[in-house]
Amino acid sequence: MIIVLARDATEADIGAVVQEAARTGAAPAVARSGDATVVRVATDGRGGVSGRLRALPKVRGVVEGDLPYVLASRDFKAEDTQVAVGDVVFGARRVVLMAGPCAVESRDQLRLVARQVKEAGARVLRGGAFKPRTSPYAFQGLGEDGLKLLAETAADFGLKVVTEVMAPEQVELVGRYADMLQIGSRSVQNFPLLRAVGRTRKPVLLKRGMATEIDEFLGAAEYVLAEGNDQVVLCERGIRTFEPRTRFTFDVSAIPLLKRLTHLPVVADPSHATGAAFLVPAASKAAIAAGADGLLIESHPDPREALSDGRQAMTPDELALLAPALRRLAEAVDRTL
Amino acid sequence: MIIVLARDATEADIGAVVQEAARTGAAPAVARSGDATVVRVATDGRGGVSGRLRALPKVRGVVEGDLPYVLASRDFKAEDTQVAVGDVVFGARRVVLMAGPCAVESRDQLRLVARQVKEAGARVLRGGAFKPRTSPYAFQGLGEDGLKLLAETAADFGLKVVTEVMAPEQVELVGRYADMLQIGSRSVQNFPLLRAVGRTRKPVLLKRGMATEIDEFLGAAEYVLAEGNDQVVLCERGIRTFEPRTRFTFDVSAIPLLKRLTHLPVVADPSHATGAAFLVPAASKAAIAAGADGLLIESHPDPREALSDGRQAMTPDELALLAPALRRLAEAVDRTL
Amino acid sequence: MIIVLARDATEADIGAVVQEAARTGAAPAVARSGDATVVRVATDGRGGVSGRLRALPKVRGVVEGDLPYVLASRDFKAEDTQVAVGDVVFGARRVVLMAGPCAVESRDQLRLVARQVKEAGARVLRGGAFKPRTSPYAFQGLGEDGLKLLAETAADFGLKVVTEVMAPEQVELVGRYADMLQIGSRSVQNFPLLRAVGRTRKPVLLKRGMATEIDEFLGAAEYVLAEGNDQVVLCERGIRTFEPRTRFTFDVSAIPLLKRLTHLPVVADPSHATGAAFLVPAASKAAIAAGADGLLIESHPDPREALSDGRQAMTPDELALLAPALRRLAEAVDRTL
Amino acid sequence: MIIVLARDATEADIGAVVQEAARTGAAPAVARSGDATVVRVATDGRGGVSGRLRALPKVRGVVEGDLPYVLASRDFKAEDTQVAVGDVVFGARRVVLMAGPCAVESRDQLRLVARQVKEAGARVLRGGAFKPRTSPYAFQGLGEDGLKLLAETAADFGLKVVTEVMAPEQVELVGRYADMLQIGSRSVQNFPLLRAVGRTRKPVLLKRGMATEIDEFLGAAEYVLAEGNDQVVLCERGIRTFEPRTRFTFDVSAIPLLKRLTHLPVVADPSHATGAAFLVPAASKAAIAAGADGLLIESHPDPREALSDGRQAMTPDELALLAPALRRLAEAVDRTL
């Protein structure tokens, strides 16, 4: 059993928890994780000890068993958490559309995309300034110049900015320009980075890794929450499977599953999940039907056409056509877009 | 390149194809597969040869490259195929709901379920009389007695019957009682069985295997089509991945992907795909949003409650609640249910 | 708990088992599976009931929990089973080399390969007469003509024949020519076929499916054993994963894992597992080092060279070079080859 | 095509490359990645341009196609790279045994293990001071105290130290105590961290991620090499698959595959790959038979016995028994241990 206490728990508060936990007969151990003080005790919670512990002062949460998360669980908090990025709220009735290019390339490109995605109904502009690339010789992003372009452009069009941060030492810099910090799928278990964004009070968009189990995903979110930042939005973005026709396999069931296990908002990235623009409309509709609180869609004014099905980004025209269809879907599940 | 000719192609028809194919400079080979005569030639179709071949008499289809299917491809037939099971039509505007128990257990159980699923809007009764089970000591189904119960019960409630056939020698027997023959996921590459159902004129419900690539799945359908039976409905039912929280991973993107590659109807089985009744509503909605032509849902009057989340079958009450929600979703994508 | 009794168990024998099982307080149920009579009872085996049941007459095996196999388990039989194909014995000190072409193509091809693999040390000739192919238009094998060629050629070179059987109705025909019946990976859960080969007394080579869990694999073997045929050799042949550089992923750890769970011999097919001839030597050595009782290697006098790394079959020269290296490996783990 | 030049390439050197590359008709682009200057040009290398480019001054390597690595490829460097950690050399005839506990717990524990693994033939002591853990509440390692214990203990027993570094800002600290820097599987695509260890001249042990394709793995190594550090040892440690009986699936074929694609040494971690101590002996033997240059084995004086098969660490007695068996295997493939 794990008992998480608030940072401002006094020695007396901790002592009270230890004493109650010790009544199980097992020996409690006290440790710290970020903002939280943690008491662990090897017991199965029989006899109502869990309820008594929850009732003690400064106890933030209690979980039985060996789940890697407490604060992220529905058991800790039953009602949905809403994450506000300015006036854009994740986890409310309105489904949030985020769109933009994979990488920020130039002012012109970005302004063009921003106008187009705004018109299609997007409220958050996505775009990479620091890009994790398989090859060190591939374009690594414009860095701070890209961040500046994102911030300026978004301001001009009344959009919010979400962009990726790749290392703890970039958090302060990216946080200066971005409204929401994205943790990419390759960083889902970069624990120093998770702690670093947890120490900010910025909203975080946490993407599932390509081979991350649901419980590991929530463990990653817990790293952020344990530091005192509960403004975390989870993003399903496809998992790695044997199927070669899609880049990843979009695990749409992860959306309702996550929503049962956690109170945090859940969004989907159908562009990376499928890797093919022609599948994005159906995957986006499926995500909304399954309960997603938002969508993260890649859009580019001129997607490279190497293989017509191979290209991942939608054109703005395709996005403009998709938006009303998504709106109808949202309404059919008692939401708006 | 593969050219498929009709069974009644004469020697002259075949000769004409061979002559045209030989003009590419490669040597054509003639073979038979079921009802079809096939001419294969090692060429890449440059210079319009493919179009000229298609125009010849008795040519049913032509594919370039090394795809394992011709007749199943959109390239062979652009418009959607409709598969009629009596007055129930797959591939039309109306989404088809199929529901019932995993296995037929008794007359009383089956009649109870049949009444309930009928009320919920189902038009096809599913239920296993021959069950593929991991253990030889597990319940293997009631066999012909189960088939009789299915046929009688369905008739009484105005439902159609879909049920699994496991071996070529069962095809005649199962076909006597069933309106639609199901090929289970473990049999997706049981080629003698596929040929056997291809030789009937019964509609076939072909389930994807748990590790079947999309192209292999269409290759399996081609075995049925090559025998002259084009009444095939494809069913996505979850693929095997690393995620332990769900029994399989529901590959919702397979639905729009299949519909692009083939003219055959595509349905989904959210019960097996997720293995958890509490995920079936969201997965069902996602399937319809993604374009599914039907749903196959497991329903049981008294699902065993071993693990509350672990149970796969919905209760009739849950199904009754789900149906109106599915109807709204269907309407949001211009369909009915 | 499952108790398996022999076919010749009398009503008295069964009654004694039921009576003992009933002492647990749960209600035993009697059923038949192939040659075996089975008593199932919902109990966890506390209080030594399992031992008492084992001691009763005609009881072949008992397993607790929900494993799908009894007769295949080490718990049922501690010592290694040896499977004899004439004078070739699987599960003894000598590692058995099986080699030959994917498909029998012609008398000349087969005689050439047979001579070469014999010289390299192979004792069993493999080759397909009935071929499961993804496409109905691909070469499906020579059928009975291929079987005749296999039998004749093997006899001339003092080899045994292993070849695939794809359907229950082929078992009698294939069994007339083959010394060992192969169940291919696509048929691993073709339960009617497993029962059919179980009703023969021919040795069976059972290949793991590409997404078959170890417990399911042993459940498949149990279908054969439950029919009274315990001459089953298990074959690891690669599982489906995300890695695109190899056709499958060779699960070498499955070898020691299977040998712990079952008494049946275990061999490996490095050719299908890797899909690349240049990886076969290392994978073969790994298999022997990990405890494999045999190897199934694809060899062809003139492998198609489409992609030099893509070709799967070894040339006879490569096989001749590999054999002495395998012999040294075998000796290093106290075996011979 | 990618051409990598040395850091000290002059403008004239770069100009010469650009000029030669431009003769293909495509427009070359110049960029920097770490220590390397890179020229990229969209051409397929026809007409011998690749050879002419390689012959130019300061050109470190050239690759055609879209592989994410140049310096790591066999095409760049045909002969095996040897990585020296003091007098311990990876990639030479002698297979290197690395062993130790998962985490450093105390001085006594570590000294005990060190003595035992030294006696068993290990030359490198492994042990975590910074531990990546799924849960923020799990033991995160002793930090610098753990590093000090590792360094002292290893010095006393004549062992080298390999230990994990999790963040760029830890590299200097860990490098002060460790002989070899381990990049864990969760960090395989932590590109800022890869660059940071690339800027040291410390040997690096790079573990494959649980869903990392071989080409991505080599791309990760390339990040280190591009910074000027070519002392990289690759480690296969199991990939994520559907099989629940093992923690991961040991991809033994990755060893020969990597050795064909790259000149870097390759080792295996059978403890994490299988997750079960009882499978480590067979997996270790398989690794050596397949050509591994070393083994990384978890050993603990008192492995928790929760589930006898579930425990991952070997006891020292088990390790002592395994060592001579590994020595015999090594000799059978013309190596020593």
- Point out the residue among B132, B167, B211 whose CB comes nearest to the CB of C210: B211
Q: How far is A120 from A100, CA to CA, in rounded Å?
A: 11
Q: Is A242 close to C241, i.e. CB distance below 8 A?
A: yes
A&B contacts, CB < 8 Å: 127
The C-alpha angle with vertex B244 and arms to B242 and B249, in degrees rounded to 5, equals 65
Torsion angles phi and psi, residue B23, rounded to 5:
-65, -15
Contacts of B249 (CB under 8 A, 6+ apart): A239, A241, A249, A251, A253, B238, B239, B240, B241, B243, B273
The ipTM estimated for the assembled molecules is: 0.94
- Per-residue pLDDT at D309: 40
> What is the C-alpha separation between C108 and C101, in angstroms, rounded?
12
Q: What angle do CA D206, B245, C236 make, to 5 degrees?
A: 60
Name the region of B102 (left: φ>0; alpha: ψ -120 to 50; beta: rest): alpha
**pLDDT for the residue numbered B50:** 86
Q: How far is it, in rounded angstroms, from Cα B180 to Cα B178? A: 5
Beta strands B83-85; B232-236: pairing state? unpaired
Separation of alpha carbons C277 and C314, rounded Å: 5
| Nearest neighbour of D137 by CB, restricted to A2, A168, A216 | A2
User: Which stretch of DSSP H or E encloses residue A309?
Assistant: none
What per-residue confidence (pLDDT) applies to D43? 76
Task: Answer whether residue A308 shows pLDDT above 50.
Answer: no
What are the tens digits of pLDDT across the range B69-106? 999 999 889 999 999 999 999 999 999 999 999 999 99
Rounded distance, CA D14 to CA B205, Å?
A: 63
pLDDT tens for each residue of D185-216: 999 999 999 999 999 999 999 999 999 999 99
Distance between CA atoms of residues D187 and D189, nearest Å = 5
- β-bridge pairing D88-90 and B124-126: unpaired
| Separation between Cα atoms, residue D166 and residue D164, nearest integer Å | 6
Rounded Cα distance between B137 and B243, Å, is: 28
Asked whether residue D135 carries a pLDDT value surpassing 50, the answer given is yes
Lowest mean pLDDT among A192-206, B259-273, C55-69: C55-69
Most D CBs within 10 Å, among A37, A135, A227, to test the D interface: A135
CB-based contact A169 D166, cutoff 8 Å: no
Dihedrals phi, psi of B251, to nearest 5 degrees: -90, 75
CA D107 to chain centre: 27
Beta strands at C294-298 and C96-100: parallel, antiparallel or unpaired: parallel
Biggest CA pair distance of chain C: 67
> What integer best gives the mean pLDDT of chain B?
93
DSSP D103: B
pLDDT at residue A316, rounded to an integer: 86
> Under 8 Å CB-to-CB from D11, ≥6 apart: which residues?
none
Min Cα distance B187 → chain D (Å) is: 20
The answer to whether A46 and A36 have CB atoms below 8 angstroms apart is: no
The rounded mean pLDDT for chain D is: 93
Confidence of residue A304 (pLDDT cuts 50, 70, 90): low
**Distance between CA A232 and CA A234 in Å, rounded?**
6
Q: Which two tokens stand for residue C271?
A: 């050719």
Rounded to an integer, what distance in angstroms lies between the CA atom of residue A102 and that of residue A99? 9
Token representation of residue C230: 């315990």
B306 pLDDT higher than 70: no
Among C209, C158, C150, smallest CA distance to C174 is for C150
Largest CA distance in chain A: 67
Determine, for residues D240 and B242 on separate chains, whether the beta-carbon distance falls below 8 Å.
yes
Cβ contacts of D251 on chain C, cutoff 8 Å: 241, 243, 249-250
Span D274-301, average pLDDT:
96
More confident residue, B181 or A309: B181
Q: Are C337 and C328 in contact (CB under 8 A)?
A: no
φ, ψ for residue C187 (rounded to 5)? -105, 10
Residue D316: the pLDDT is: 86
The pLDDT of C286-290, averaged and rounded, is: 98
Rounded to 10 degrees, what is the CA torsion of D10, D12, D14, D15?
A: 160
Q: Which residues of C touch A240 (CB under 8 A)?
A: 242
* DSSP for residue C184: P
Instruction: Decide if C258 contacts C113 (C-beta within 8 A).
Output: no
Cα A233 to chain centroid, rounded: 4
Nearest CA in chain B to D211: B242
Nearest CA to C210 out of C193, C187, C231, C191 is that of C187
Within 8 A of B291 by CB-CB distance, chain A residues are 282
Across D72-220, where does the E strand assignment appear?
A: 83-85, 88-90, 96-100, 124-126, 160-164, 180-183, 204-207
Residues D283-302 have a mean pLDDT of 95
With CA atoms as reference, report the closest residue to C33 among C74, C57, C76, C2.
Answer: C2
Give the contacts of C81 (CB within 8 A, at least 6 positions apart). Answer: C91, C230, C263, C264, C265
Q: Give the residue-averaged pLDDT of A156-173.
A: 97
Residue B337 has pLDDT above 50, yes or no: yes
Cα→Cα distances D72→B114, C17, D48, D90, D268, Å: 64, 66, 22, 16, 18
| Interface of chain C toward chain A, CB-CB under 8 angstroms | 211, 240-242, 244
Give all domains of chain C, ordered by start, each with its CATH number: 2-63 (3.30.70.1140), 83-332 (3.20.20.70)
Q: Count of A–C CB contacts within 8 Å? A: 8
Task: Express each pLDDT in C97-144 by its tens digit.
Answer: 999 999 999 999 999 999 999 999 999 999 999 999 999 998 889 999
Question: pLDDT (tens digit, 9 = 90+) per residue, D216-241?
Answer: 999 999 999 999 999 999 999 999 99
Question: Comparing B25 with C44, which gets the higher pLDDT?
Answer: B25
Nearest Cα residue to A126 out of A136, A114, A135: A114
Predicted local distance difference test score (pLDDT) of residue C139: 85
Contact D244 B244 (CB under 8 A): yes
Whether C28 contacts C46, CB under 8 Å: no
Record: contact B242-D242, CB cut-off 8 A: yes
What pLDDT digit, counting tens, does each position of D21-78 carry? 998 888 888 988 888 899 988 877 677 888 899 999 999 999 877 789 999 999 889 9
The Cα-based distances of B34 to A20, A95, C166, C236, C317 in angstroms read 75, 51, 17, 32, 39
Give percent above pLDDT 70 in chain A: 97
Average pLDDT value for residue range A260-269? 97
Model confidence at B225: pLDDT above 70: yes
Neighbours of C305 (CB within 10 A): 8
Taking the CA atoms of chain C, what radius of gyration do you get in angstroms? 21
Residue D138: band (very low, low, confident or very high) from pLDDT cuts 50, 70, 90: confident
pLDDT in tens, C224-234: 999 999 999 99
Q: Mean per-residue pLDDT for A135-150?
A: 94
Q: Give dist(CA B277, CA C118) in Å, integer.
A: 56
State residue C9's pLDDT score. Answer: 93
**Neighbour count for residue A307 (Cβ, 10 Å):** 8
Q: Which of A3-17, B53-67, B295-309, D274-288 has the lowest mean pLDDT?
A: B295-309
Chain D residues whose C-beta sits inside 8 Å of any chain B C-beta: 211, 240-242, 244
Q: Inform me whether the pLDDT recorded for B168 exceeds 90.
A: yes
Token pair recorded at residue D27 = 């427009």
Q: Per-residue confidence at A45, pLDDT binned at 50, 70, 90? A: low
B2 chain-C contacts, CB cut-off 8 A: 137
What is residue A295's predicted lDDT score, i.e. its pLDDT? 98
Residue C279, min C-alpha distance to chain D (Å): 7
Check pLDDT > 50 for residue A305: no
Q: How far apart are CA A88 and CA A82, in angstroms?
A: 10
Average model confidence (pLDDT) across chain C: 93
Residue C45 pLDDT level (bands cut at 50, 70, 90): low
B30 neighbourhood in chain C, CB within 8 Å: none
Q: In chain B, what residues touch C189 (CB-CB under 8 Å)?
A: 132, 134, 186
**Record: contact B240-D242, CB cut-off 8 A:** yes
Mutate to test the interface with A, among D135, D240, D304 (most CBs of A within 10 A): D135
User: Which chain B residue's Cα is nearest to D247?
Assistant: B242
Distances from the Cα of C288 to the Cα of C285, C292, D75, D254, angstroms: 5, 5, 31, 17
